[in-house]
Structure 1
Amino acid sequence: MKLLIQNGHVLDPLTGLDDISDVLIEGSLIVKVEKDLSVPADRVIDASGCYIMPGFIDLHVHLRDPGLTYKETLGTGGRAAAHGGVTTLCAMPNTTPITDTKEMVEELHRRAEVESPVHVIQLGAVTKGEQGEELADIQGMAEAGCHAISEDGKSVMTASLYRKAMRLAEENGLSVFAHCEDITMVEGGVMNAGQKAKELGVKGITNSVEDVIVARDILLAKETGVRLHLCHCSTADSVKMIEAAKKEGLPVTGEVCPHHFILSDEDIDVNNGQYKMNPPLRSKEDVEALREGLKNDIMDVISTDHAPHAEEEKNLPMEKAAFGIVGLETSACLTYTELVEKGILTPMQMAEKMSYNPAQILGLKDKGSVSSGKTADLVIFDPAAKYSIDKNTFLSKGRNTPFDGYPVKGKVRCTIVDGKIVYNQKGV
């Protein structure tokens, strides 16, 4: 099977190609990237006016499978990913039961091959049952291809146990993906601790809840040498600490989610549970610091923390609603609208933070690039398309987003995984 994509603007962070070019795919591989390719092909796609980027890699997704499949499944989550241009995703292990064994990782990988149209990397838990008491089978999960361990949804509060996990992760070639939250300091908070929380009369979550664990985890990574990836960073001090770690040469990276680089606590409607997420929406000053961190390449990755919930779990006031927001199907358009269109990121930086850098963190040498010999995981993205986000068009089971009706620019027209079209909007 030969697929030829013509007349698209190729963005390749690996080679630096930033120009109109054609892309020839044979089987699952990219075989040529050249101008004016004239070769026979089984299918030709005209990508005029669109970017051809390496498929997006989302390091932070909750698929809720197994155990909470009324919220999402491998299949629905995979289709939502394809709709959003995501060709590889990392599924967090806080499933029911917790994914904490080699056998569970193997089984989820086996199922994903059948049920999901995109690549799924199942991450493993740090401790058994995410109870923070006994280490999970880190070596076994590494053998099963988990790529990283994470206690996502909480932090391992015992530093000595976490240090042992980091050492094991480093010995087995794994990264540690850290959800930085000192649970002892949350104290029932439901939104950012600021003036808005005081006005609304609700309990707040201070920045230090995140910052204390960011500092601890960076110091532990320095001691153990493990690659540390800090998930869903939301504070200005997280950016400062990551910058300091990078200056010291430590293997530390950080991600930002679209909701954190767009919305602040001032946008919150206390009667609308769609604004409730963890970490919470922070101050305008934090939002600006996150944007600057992305612009200056201190913050490496844009991920979603895609966390679907049933409608009845979110259509509640802030104090009663579940924490979480979906993002697989909106991250590309929100990034383009709020960062690229506003001159904060270049289109190439968007490709770096949504594909190339995540591939490097995971050690996926065959992904994150539009170049000869790489796996044909690609997205065709139309930067001119203008529309408003409509949650009713989502392929995810989750519709929990405060961005419903939000005006955006930029749309995924086609998603290709292993040389096969897994999402194709009519007209492409």
Structure 2
Amino acid sequence: MTTRPTPAPARKLLLANARLVDPATGREEFGDLLVEDGLIADFGAALRAARPEGATVLDCRGEVVAPGLIDMRAFVGEPGAEHRETLASASRAAAAGGVTTVVCMPDTNPPVDEPAVVDYLNRRARDTAIVRMIPAAALTKGLAGREMTEIGLLREAGAAFLTDGARSVTNAQVMRRALTYARDFGALIVHHCEDPDLVGDGVMNEGELASRLGLHGIPREAETLMLERDLRLVRLTGGRYHAAMVSCADSVAIMARAKSDGLDVTCGVSINSLALNENDIGPYRTFLKLSPPLRHEDDRIAVVEALSDGLIDVIVSDHNPQDVETKRQPFAECADGAIGLETMLAVGLRLVHSGEIGLAALLRAMTTRPAEILGLPQGRLARGAPADLIVFDPDEPFVQDPADLHSRSKNTPFDGARLQGRVHVTIVGGAIVYQRD
């Protein structure tokens, strides 16, 4: 497999003999897709009869061509933790997984709480990354949860949205003010819903299994109480709000009620919460210590059904690279987090192969909906849209070997897992940035 520095796009690139899947419309057909000057010029079955002259032809051999994935939640260590991940290494992992746009969390060192840091990351991404890397900005100064950042200036600098990453803003007055100011600037607040006081020293989902393993549990109420509070503040302020990751049936019910009431709210779910449950922790597998924790199978089924119904808007990788020293510890003492950029699509396809969700619905949650929420022109097959595309075989089987991953860290919960679905080509702005050998 190969990843390359971002080349200049071919003036004309024809993706021939493809299964075209547009998650924005649900349209699916066999045909060709023409890229010109970094944009989608045309697509459909009619192109097969009249292929343009002078185009570089890529034979897709019946594989799926779809918009590139958009991941709204990934931790990248730069600046301050480059030993865990850099913009360059994260972008290579993203390209290999079919992710063409990555939103990077602000909990770095220093945190992304000043416009100058946003500008620095944008320039670093332009110089070193092979996919689109967009920084999110901190919601509070120093991620301390006490004082708002300069929301308007951060938005002008190019921040995707405001969030404190893996930290929750526990002060309701601060959150109320943030939602009010964000509303006035047209900015989006993304919040990690987890009450740290209720989490306490918990390390996995509270319940019978935690008791049997002798581990302190985290109740679902740590998530649902914070989510309920946030949605009441949204009702009060009229701000735009996105719950970063919901993980249980109760949160699904809360979001359903808020949406039915007409609140301007959306939510995401981690790919790990869709594909795994608390039983997968097994013999204290530290790569499965996550935040939010893996829940009961009933909760997993509830979030999958909510995703299929469109109640949950987006799927995120929750990419959180950790080094060996922070993971090779007792389960209760190791760091939270797992990598996921490179495996998000293949793991999601498990749900398609099991019949739990359709391919178009899965791709919509990874492409069209995040693009709509972020106000991006990507995420659809449409004439004039940016040519951020992937070519993948949804049925190709493989066993995940951590040594094959492009991330600097190897803490994947799918070590040795049997998966189906290989990305063969990733295109960003009309340029091929990844092509599997």
> Which shows bigger deviation, 41-50 or 405-414?
41-50
Give the equivalent residue in structure 1 for 2:308: 295
CA distance in 2, matches of 1:286, 1:107: 40
Structure 1 counterpart of 2:363: 351
Task: Read off the aligned partner of 2:60 and give its amino acid letter.
Answer: A
**Aligned residue runs from structure 1 range 381-420, under 5 A:** 381-420=392-431
Q: Secondary structure at the match of 1:6?
A: strand
Q: Following the alignment from structure 1 to structure 2, what is the Cα–Cα distance between the partners of residues 419 and 101? A: 32
Alpha-carbon displacement from aligned partner over 1:108-158 (angstroms, at most 9, x marks no partner): 011101111111110011110011111112111010111210011111111
- Contact persistence 2:399–2:419 (CA under 8 A): yes
User: Contact between 1:58 and 1:89, CA under 8 Å: does it hold in 2?
Assistant: yes
- Counterpart of 1:214 in structure 2: which amino acid? L
The residue aligned with 1:310 is 323
Q: Match of 1:211?
A: 224
Cα deviation for residue 16 of structure 1 reads 3.5
Residues 187-233 of structure 1, C-alpha deviations (whole Å, 9 max, x = no match): 10111111111011111111000111111111112222222111121
**Structure 2 residue aligned with 1:111:** 124
Show the counterpart of 2:6: none
Where does residue 133 of structure 2 map in the other structure?
A: 120
- Check the 8 A contact 1:271/1:316 in 2, yes or no: no
Amino acid aligned to 2:426: T
Matches of 2:18 and 2:238 in 1, distance apart? 41
Matched, 1:88 2:98: no
Q: Identity over the aligned pairs, expressed in percent?
A: 38
- Give how far 1:278 is off: 0.7
Please list, as runs of the form range in 1=range in 2, the aligned pairs for 1:185-334 lying within 5 A after superposition.
185-334=198-347
Give the 3-state SS of the residue equivalent to 1:8 in structure 2.
strand
Report if the CA contact (8 A) 1:80-1:329 is conserved: yes
> Is residue 342 of structure 1 aligned with residue 354 of structure 2?
yes
CA distance in 2, matches of 1:334, 1:26: 32
- Maintained 8 Å contact 2:275/2:348: no
User: SS of the counterpart of 1:141?
Assistant: helix
The one-letter amino acid paired with 2:389 is L
SS in 2 for 1:149: coil
Question: In structure 2, how many angstroms separate the alpha carbons of the residues matched to 1:87 and 1:353?
Answer: 14
> Does the 8 Å contact 2:29/2:44 carry over to 1?
no
Aligned-pair CA distance for 1:270? 4.6
Does 2:23 align with 1:13? Answer: yes
Structure 1 residue 42 displacement after superposition: 4.1
| Cα shift at 1:14 | 3.0
Deviating runs (4+, > 3 A) in structure 1? none
Q: Which residue of 1 aligns with 2:38?
A: 28
TM superposition shift of 1:344:
1.7
C-alpha RMSD over aligned residues: 1.1
Q: 1:16 to 1:235 in 2, by over 3 A?
A: closer
Aligned to 1:97: 110
CA contact (8 A) 1:272 1:316 kept: no
Q: Which amino acid aligns with 1:341?
A: H
Q: Which residue of 2 aligns with 1:425?
A: 436
TM-superposed CA distance for 1:300, in Å, is: 1.0
Report the Cα distance in structure 1 between the residues aligned to 2:23 and 2:240, rounded to whole angstroms: 22
Q: CA deviation at 1:172?
A: 1.4
Whether contact under 8 Å (1:4, 1:41) holds in the other structure is: no
Residue of structure 1 aligned with 2:146, choices 133, 153, 175: 133
CA–CA distance in 2 between the matches of 1:300 and 1:199?
A: 35
**Once structures 1 and 2 are overlaid, which stretch shifts more, 249-258 or 56-65?**
249-258
Confirm whether residue 2 of structure 1 aligns to residue 15 of structure 2.
no
CA contact (8 A) 2:68 2:100 kept: yes
Correspondence for 1:372: 383
Number of residue pairs matched by the alignment? 424
Answer yes or no: is the 8 Å Cα contact 1:274–1:315 preserved in 2.
no
Q: Distance in 2 between matches of 1:19 and 1:406?
A: 31
Equivalents in 2 of 1:102, 1:409: separation in Å?
41
* TM-score normalised by length of structure 1: 0.97
Q: CA 1:21/1:224 → structure 2, altered by over 3 Å: closer, same or farther?
A: farther
What is the Cα deviation at residue 269 of structure 1?
A: 3.0
CA distance in 2, matches of 1:49, 1:388: 23
One-letter amino acid of the counterpart of residue 419, structure 2: V
Q: TM-score, normalised by structure 2?
A: 0.95
Q: Map Cα deviations across residues 336-378 of structure 1 (whole Å, 9 max, x no partner).
A: 12x11112221111221000000000011x2111111000000
Where in structure 2 are there 5+ consecutive unaligned residues?
Answer: 1-10
Once residues 142 and 324 of structure 1 are traced to their aligned partners in structure 2, the CA distance between those partners, rounded to angstroms, is 28
SS at match of 2:40: strand
The one of 148, 159, 162 aligned to 1:146: 159
Q: Secondary structure at the match of 1:31?
A: strand
Query: Which moves more between the two structures, 164-173 or 59-68?
Result: 164-173
